[in-house]
């Protein structure tokens, strides 16, 4: 299966971002992609964290979700819809939700980000918990026989989530992200390759990459990593398509020559 990570430099305007996302999905489909993945906050990188509250949608309804479903149906591809703000019972909080659509436009999965990012180096200050409500459930889905696990950005730093996702093993892990330039430069590739190696599966990581209207700079470097930790394709900055082949024979070879997944100790799970 050909898979594509779609990199964006999202703006403060939802309609404009949807236009860019739609064009990238169509471009990837023309190039032969069967599964495409958008970055975290592909639909909105606002000037303030609270901008997410105004753009939030009810589960199953709204222009962002409709655009994702329509794009999947029109292009005939699986769409991992980055993330969008989903309403909660608390008007001061939203969920950061990743919705997945089948080639016929049906929604087949929703994952809400579990780990909420907080960072302060004296110059940059972030605390997602001010407007986000954390999810609590790992989510996988099946796409044409492939087992695919979902995660979002800061989740990447928590290997126990991926261990939960890979019981049984996943063929592909998705990590739509919006890493800061500072943390991305230090840890992005290192963490992605580690997750691929320790779980012996492919990793697709679509990211925000560039300087945004709100003044924020994101790291980019959207990439696809194979189960041996090899980076198959990467884009440093700017909007575009990063594509590679998910090769099941490669998966079998890696797991066969080094059967680490079969050596896991059940009695150590959760410790």
Catalytically annotated residue among 40, 57, 128, 189? 40
Catalytically annotated residue among 43, 98, 99, 153? 153
Cα–Cα distance measured from residue 173 to residue 75, given in angstroms and rounded to the nearest whole number: 22
- 153 catalytic? Reply is yes
The distance in angstroms from the start CA to the end CA of the chain is 35
Catalytically annotated residue among 27, 43, 99, 113? 113
Burial environment of residue 190 by CB neighbours within 10 A (0 to 12, 13 to 18, 19 or more) = exposed
HSE of 54 in the Cβ direction (CA atoms, 13 Å)?
11
- 98 catalytic? Reply is no
DSSP the chain: -EEEEEEB---S-HHHHHHHHHHHHHHHHHTT-SEEEPPTTTT---SSTTHHHHH-B-TT-SHHHHHHHHHHHHHTSEEE---EEEE-SSTT-EEEEEEEE-TTS-EEEEEE--SPPEEESSS-EEEGGGTB-------EEEETTEEEEE--GGGGG-HHHHHHHTSS--SEEE--B--BHHHHHHHHHHHHHHHHHHHTSEEEE-BBEEE-TTS-EEE--EEEE-TTS-EEEEE-SSSEEEEEE--HHHHHHHHHHS-GGGG--GGGTT-
- 43 catalytic? Reply is no
Residues designated catalytic: 40, 113, 153
């Amino acid at each position: 299966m050909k898979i594509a990570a779609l990199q964006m430099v999202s703006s403060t305007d939802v309609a404009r971002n949807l236009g860019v996302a739609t064009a990238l999905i169509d471009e990837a489909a023309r190039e032969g992609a069967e599964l495409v993945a958008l970055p975290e906050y592909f639909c909105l990188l606002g000037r303030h964290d609270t901008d997410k509250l105004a753009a939030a949608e009810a589960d199953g309804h709204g222009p962002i979700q409709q655009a994702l479903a329509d794009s999947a149906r029109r292009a005939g591809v699986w769409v991992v819809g980055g993330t969008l703000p989903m309403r909660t019972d608390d008007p001061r909080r939203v969920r950061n939700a990743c919705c997945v659509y089948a080639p016929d436009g049906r929604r087949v999965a929703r994952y809400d980000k579990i780990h909420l990012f907080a960072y302060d180096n004296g110059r940059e200050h972030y605390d997602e918990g001010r407007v986000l409500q954390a999810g609590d459930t790992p989510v996988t889905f099946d796409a044409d026989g492939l087992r695919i696990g979902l995660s979002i950005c800061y989740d990447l730093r928590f290997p126990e989530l991926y261990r939960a996702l890979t019981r049984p093993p996943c063929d592909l892990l998705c990590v739509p992200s919006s890493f800061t330039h500072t943390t991305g430069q230090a840890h992005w590739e290192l963490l992605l390759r580690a997750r691929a190696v320790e779980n012996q599966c492919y990793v697709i990581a679509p990211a925000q990459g560039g300087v945004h209207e709100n003044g924020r700079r994101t790291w980019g470097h959207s990439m696809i990593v194979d189960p041996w930790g090899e980076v198959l394709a990467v884009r440093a900055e700017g909007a575009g398509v990063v594509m590679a082949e998910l090769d099941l024979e490669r998966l079998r070879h890696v797991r066969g020559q080094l059967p680490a997944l079969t050596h896991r100790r059940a009695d150590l799970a959760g410790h």
